Amino acid sequence: MAHLNLDLRQVARCRELARKIASPVEKLIDTHTTVAIERATLRLLGVNGAIVRGGQHFPEANAIVEDLHKAGALAEGVLPAFVNGMIQKKMTAPELGAAVASRKIDLLKLPKASDAEVKAKARELCEKAKQLIIDRREQRDAIRKEAGDTFDASGKNGPLLYVIVATGNIYDDVIQARAAAQAGADAIAVIRSTAQSLLDYVPHGATTEGFGGTYATQENFRIMREALDDESLKLGRYIRLTNYCSGLCMTEIAALGAIERLDFLLNDAMYGILFRDINMKRTLIDQHFSRRIIALSRIVIHTGEDNYLTTADAIENGHQVLASQFINERFASHAHMTEDLMGLGHAQEMNPEHPNVFLLEIARAQMTRDIFPKSPIKFMPPTRYKCGDIFYSHLMDAMFNFVGVLTGQTIQLLGMMTEAMHTPLLQDRYAAIRNAKYIFGGAKDLGQEITYKPGGTIEKWAAKVLQETLDHLEMIDRKGLFKAIEEKAFAEVKRTETGGKGHDGVIVRAPGYLNPFFEVL
């Protein structure tokens, strides 16, 4: 594979700066919890039911944590009170969860077992939950092996054909996902209903009325995973399942995704901060716990840097993407994720009328591949400059596919010729897959046949972007990540440290805080 002549000293310095930038946030993570982390803790113990409140299903985990938070009893975590309740009432976690959520039992009015007994019981429950995640991971891996799986994080087997379904109805999604797999897709992403990331609870059960996508729920995960397992075995190749693990419930989605054997999760705090106005402390703390779960399950994350180029010019601000990738890599490493699980994201979003635009796109794609050689890079299609001309859109997607196979991308989200007009139909997805298969097959080994001209346009552009990335990280290091975000360091979007949704769900840990998951994960 062709490589660029990058300054490796600059790359190393970028990583060192990312470590320094992340360090204060890591200290924040170690001293705080959130309502979402405590809810995810209950879910991992098996509290995944729902009660009827206000005419709709409301998760038991939310009801329990909400009541403890209102009583000012969450600084020690949900486990001291809940585990004590299990001991006193001799009930399983699901049984006690149902009783406490419906307010038949008040955890704060029960007699108290000794701290040692509560800690021992909590550790036992967390170890059991850890084993469940491992069992589910092994079950998933066994199906991969049986069906046949050639996925390689480094991209040497060519980009995975990655497509979306977004009907709003999980049962219709299954039909479209099966059709896409039969047409050649390797991975299916089930798009979430619009703004689900802003809900501070996970909807319950199978859903059929999403808007612009289908709600991410445990039952929806189960339904789609079962369908894709069946399709994988029929086709003789494993089909991966993706969903969204960002927003106010990212910790819970991580837990449910691990339990229901997902393969990929879009997991990135920066996306929520910038594009959903979620409080930066809340989502960065949540992200760490979610990634601890994801790391154990060996789910590949996808980060959201590609979105920066939908609000900031891709030619002038491409370095912001690389800077964020370095920071995201550091946060993932702090959560014990290995490089082959870090699906860092970037996109082809430069103005198509810019002179030599494909040379610049090749430079950006190749430098991403070269700087993160062990990571399963996710390459996103052009969207910003698409319009109602479906033929031009299809051509843009073809050139995007060409850049992807040339530079050895791992995961290629296929563009749809009608995505600027409506939610793509079955035939649009078929056309996109056929387009990609033609180019991926026809140019499969092109990257092995060429080299980049020393001092040429591609190499010079890559060097320029790397220098700008280094300068950007130096600036963020001087100001601190939170202050830099406040001053529009990424995507031309301003956020504040205490603003945004979910800030009231951030809690300083008390000295007696208990959550063995931070150790056993």
Of 306, 370, 397, 428, catalytic = 306
470: phi then psi, degrees, rounded to nearest 5? -60, -45
Determine contact, residues 331/287, Cβ cutoff 8 Å. Answer: yes
Establish whether 378 is a catalytic residue: yes
Establish whether 20 is a catalytic residue: no
Of 162, 238, 244, 271, catalytic = 271
CA 217/CA 489 separation, integer angstroms = 34
Token pair belonging to 370: 């070269």
Of 130, 147, 220, 132, nearest in space to 177 by CA = 220
Of 380, 374, 381, 386, nearest in space to 341 by CA = 374
User: Helices in 260-313 by DSSP H: which ranges?
Assistant: 269-275, 280-297
Token pair belonging to 205: 């059960």
Of 130, 378, 386, 501, catalytic = 378
Chain centroid offset of residue 200 CA:
17
Give me the DSSP letters along 299-330. Answer: PEEE--GGGGGGTS-HHHHHHHHHHHHHHHHH
Per this entry, what is the length of the chain? 521
CA 478/CA 173 separation, integer angstroms = 47
Tell me if residue 187 falls in helix, strand or coil: strand
CA 354/CA 321 separation, integer angstroms = 19
Establish whether 271 is a catalytic residue: yes
Q: Which residues are catalytic?
A: 271, 306, 378
